[in-house]
Amino acid sequence: MWNTGKPIHDRLPGENEGYRKDESWSGYNPTIDPPIARWLTEPWDGLLVEVKTKTENVYATHLNPLTAQPENLDWLAQLCGFTGEYWDVSWSVAVKRQLIAQSLVDIWENKGSRVLLEWLIQLFGLQARIYLLGEFLADINKAGDVLGGEALHYWLLVKLNYLRTSDEWKLLEKLNRLYSPVYCDSAVVYDQFFADFSIAGDPVWS
């Protein structure tokens, strides 16, 4: 009965086809046998079919982040731990899907790690790199500079294509604040000291 889309109508008593005389019935006469049963059951049949379809597809439309309807992602994110500052409804659908999909697999398990922060930077399409003291930077470090160094301080280096007031800069600061190790001192800075752009306290690379 579900296949016909008329689960109520097609279950009505069929004696002499009294309840089911409509356009599909042999010898149908609309004057003598108006399809009253169909008129009465059609809206309820439609409602039942709609509810059944939604129920059967609830995992795909509500719970699977890769297939869920976009309007359900913000709701689903809360179930995966993204509340408050950890979520922004203005993020793209693609970013939302990946965050939710990786939340219980990688994100919360690796929170505070360099690999997670680098993954987030890439996910949001931000142009920045993590630099720890002692790392060798092409065009900045010189041959012979000591590798390694203090492990409790790092920077997110960006170029002049981001202003400090830009959304990208603010997002970098937010991601760094939320996902950085609590024991590390860190900041978003330019990869060089630029007059009129860098501020007091920014490192001077040499």
Q: What is the DSSP string of 44-98?
A: HHHHHHHHHHHHHTHIIIII-TTTS-HHHHHHHHHHTT--GGG--TTS-HHHHHH
pLDDT at res. 205: 63
From 56, 74, 101, give the residue that closes a domain: 56
pLDDT at res. 109: 93
Q: For residue 41, which phi and psi values (nearest 5 degrees)?
A: -95, -15
Task: Examine residue 188 and state whether it is found in any structural domain, yes or no.
Answer: yes
pLDDT at res. 123: 97
Assigned token pair, 54: 């939604």
pLDDT at res. 145: 40
Task: Examine residue 70 and state whether it is found in any structural domain, yes or no.
Answer: no
Range of the domain at 10: 2-56
pLDDT at res. 126: 97
Residues of the chain with pLDDT under 50: 136-137, 140-149
pLDDT at res. 12: 74
| Domain tally, the chain | 2
pLDDT at res. 66: 95
